[in-house]
Each structure stands twice: as structure tokens, then as C-alpha cells.
Amino acid sequence: MTSSVKKRALITGASSGIGKATALAFAKAGIDLALVSRSQDKLEAVATAVREAGVKAQPYLLDLNQLDQVKTKIEAIAAEFASLDILVNNAGMGYTGTLMETPLADWQHVLDLNLTSVWQCILGVLPTMRQQQQGTIINVASIAGLQPFPGWGAYNVSKAGLIALGKTLAAEELAHGIRVVTLSPGAVNTPIWDTETVKADLNRSAMLTPEIVAQSILHAALMPQTAVIDSMTLMPSAGTL
């Protein structure tokens, strides 16, 4: 499904994993891209690959952990693009640890990145989308927000909060023509499993690939303006790992 109207999208966490795959899928669909990440070298490589597909791509270095800067910088990106149609909130972190054992600083860090920074990104694009009376905001949550897993306490809570954020936003912005999509994938084979905050030994070959998730995001983004996929659960055929 493609659109005859040129679209522009902003993707967070665009330098690897689901974000990178989504950028490449969007580029093939002819969507111009603002690519946000804190990894400059990887981000530049993705931007180059996107441009080779024949669309505009502008990389923006932004650490979403710097919450006091997120809203202002996202606003500036939206203004530079002049017409921003799609926001994909993909950036986030994994975290394993029981609630009993999770330090307060770790809890706050997970909630800040996985939930609060998403809220700030949304606030950064809402003025532009309201002015246009249209826009699509896609939040990448997780099956863990619907089916909490023991030993993933802070992560479960952050993703459940993201799902609630999406539902609230959809209700509040309906009158402004803004659509909100929440995607809750099962396990996806991304670099998140190699990070220091995740200690889990799962069969990564049985997981979803970033490309499969990206195609679901693209499908939701290209729905006709008169329709919306408000929520989507995407699982590996192997089931919950």
C-alpha cells in the first residue's frame, strides 16, 4: 500500500534495530525522514542508505535521556521539516530485574526513556500536527505491557504506561485529526539483547525480525486518513519466548 501524497516522518532510535528497519521500509515507500538517535556514526550510515532509496533523510543527534531538551529539540525538527506527518516513537531500553531488586535510579531511568521521553517527543510534534489537522503517531510498546513477565518489572511497567499513554492521547487528539497507533510486538531480535541492562538467554532465531515489525509500522502509517489501526499485537509464530 503506497500513498500518492508525499509524507514526512520522524523516527526515534533510528540507528539500529526496529528504528533502522523502519527507516529503510519508509524510504522504499517514498517517505522523507528525520532520523533521531544518539549514535552519530550509525545514524549517518542509515541516512546514507535512506538517501540511496531516493528520499530526503536528515540525521539529528539527540539523547532522549536529556528530558529537559527533548521537547524543544523535537519542536525544532518539526519546524525544519515544515510538514511532519508521522512520528514513530521507537527509542527505548530493555531492563531485567525483579521489582524487589531494582534500584530507584534504575527504575527512574527506564521510566524516563521508555515513557517520559516518548511523551516529550509527542508534545514536540503536536502543535504542527494540530495546525495541519492531521498526523499519525506510532508508539512501539511491547507484549510485556499487556502480559507482564517476572524479572522484567520496570520494563513491564514502562510499556504498560506507554500503552495507556497512547489510548489517552488518541482520545484527546481525535478532534484534531491525529491518529495514534500502539504496536506491541513480542520478542524481536535486535541489539537490545546485547545491552548491559538485559540479562536473558532466549532463542533469538525464533524471534521476530526488525524488518517484520517495520512492515507492520509502515502498514499502520499508510492507512487512509479515514481509518486507523489503534492497536496491534505482533507475535513470533513460536509464541512467547
CA atoms of 23 and 12, how far apart (whole Å): 10
Paired strand residues for 178: 135
CB atoms < 10 A from the CB of 195, how many? 12
Type of residue numbered 156: N
What are residue 234's DSSP bridge partners?
A: 185
**Continuous segment of H or E residues that includes residue 212:** helix 210-221
| DSSP H or E stretch at residue 156 | helix 153-173
In this prediction, residue 1 carries a pLDDT of: 43
Angle between helices 153-173 and 104-111 in degrees, nearest 10: 30
Exposed, middle or buried: residue 232 (CB in 10 Å: 0-12, 13-18, 19+)?
A: middle
Tens-binned pLDDT, residue by residue, of the chain (241 aa): 444 578 999 999 999 999 999 999 999 999 999 999 999 999 999 999 999 999 999 999 999 999 999 999 999 999 998 889 999 999 999 999 999 999 999 999 999 999 999 999 999 999 999 999 999 999 999 999 999 999 999 999 999 999 999 999 999 999 999 999 999 999 999 999 999 999 998 999 999 999 999 999 999 999 999 999 999 999 999 776 5
Q: Which fold has domain 8-234?
A: Rossmann fold (3.40.50)
Measured between its terminal Cα atoms, the distance across the chain in Å is 31
Active site includes 155?
yes
Q: What is the pLDDT of residue 239?
A: 73
3-state SS string for 10-75: EEECCCCHHHHHHHHHHHHCCCEEEEEECCHHHHHHHHHHHHHCCCCEEEEECCCCCHHHHHHHHH
Predicted local confidence at residue 241, as pLDDT? 58
In angstroms, the CA 179 to CA 103 distance is 36
Q: How many CB atoms lie within 10 A of CB 36?
A: 30
Considering 31, 138, 155, 185, which one is annotated as catalytic?
A: 155
Question: What cell was used for 158?
Answer: 514502562
The Cα–Cα gap between 21 and 158 comes to 23
Q: For residue 210, what pLDDT is reported?
A: 98
Q: What pLDDT score was predicted for residue 83?
A: 82
Which residue shows C-alpha cell 511532519?
Answer: 84
Instruction: Write down the domain spans for the chain.
Output: 8-234
Q: What is the pTM of this model?
A: 0.95
